[in-house]
Amino acid sequence: MHIISASRRMDLPAFQLPAFLAALRRGWLDVPHPFTGQRQRVDLHGPEVAGIVFWTRRPAALLPHLDELRDVYQDRLRIQVTLTGLPPELEPRAPREEEVVEALRRLSLRLGPEHLTWRFDPLLLSTLTPPDWWVETFARLSARLEGRVREVTLSWLDLYSRARRNLLVLERSGVRLQNPAAATRRELLDRLAGLAQRHGLPLSACCEPEMLEHGALRPGACLDAAWFEQRNGLLPGALGNQPSRPGCGCGRSRDVGVYNSCAFGCRYCYANAKPWEQAPADPWQPAADGV
């Protein structure tokens, strides 16, 4: 069995949900390999599918289709919502905070907090976003999301090659990234952990061994095998592990996403070769050459 990851490579709910729902009714997607382009068929439901995890900045897009999704996946549905409050210089077209908070409130009422994860990442220190900015933002958001989500996931910015290229545009405009000392990072985590504890929000770390040295954080798993095993009546360990990089705790999964399919234009994004002005309506359609 495997978990459907929808998706590390794109914001599927925000930009490709109609095409995905059409595929869900059909039962499968032909997903291109991110590097070779070779297509492989992925079953979206059936006996080999343990459930689904959506990754999104716009959870409101899922609300009108929640009944259909629950008909297929029952309670084997998880939603990870990224909300950082970063300024438009870093997240030019991210949804407004008010929209995301309200959508999380409504999703929590319908699904329950255990189906929702708040991603407060990446932690990116810059001349625009020093440590005090992160603490003030986390204080405001954690107060608004208290009792609405299962956990909060943190991670530091990873400068993948695509993210590094995209951030060059930002640096040319005068915004400078900062590489803080270990003591500065530790102090920031201390302050965030104190706020999380005050609001009853468990903290997890995504692929961050340094963060796990902090006693308040536990290892995170975006694709939590144990959670899906419990809901499928499987023995512990049945789904196995399938790490995407060192330190990853994710279970066996099939990612149905396609790179270069998001129009939010976040400057630190690893999934786009460049910030896109318009996302394709159906990124799973083969190109003219059949690739």
Task: Spell out the per-residue pLDDT of the chain, length 291, in tens.
Answer: 999 999 999 999 999 999 999 999 999 999 999 888 899 999 999 999 999 999 999 999 999 999 999 999 999 999 999 999 999 989 999 999 999 999 999 999 999 999 999 999 999 999 999 999 999 999 999 999 999 999 999 988 876 666 667 677 677 777 888 888 889 999 999 999 999 999 999 999 887 777 877 777 888 889 999 999 999 999 999 999 888 777 788 999 999 999 989 999 888 888 877 665 677 878 898 755 444
What lies within 8 Å, CB to CB, of 267 at 6+ separation is 89, 90, 91, 92, 166, 167, 169, 170, 275
Q: How far apart are CA 79 and CA 96, in angstroms?
A: 18
User: Is position 229 within any domain?
Assistant: yes
Q: Which domain holds residue 216?
A: 2-255
User: Is position 276 within any domain?
Assistant: no
What lies within 8 Å, CB to CB, of 271 at 6+ separation is 8, 9, 10, 162, 257, 259, 260, 261, 262
User: Is position 260 within any domain?
Assistant: no
User: Is position 179 within any domain?
Assistant: yes
User: Is position 149 within any domain?
Assistant: yes
Four-residue CA torsion sign, 199, 200, 205, 210: positive
CATH classification at residue 246: 3.80.30
Please tell me the total count of domains within the chain. 1
| Entry pTM | 0.92
At residue 289, the pLDDT reads 45
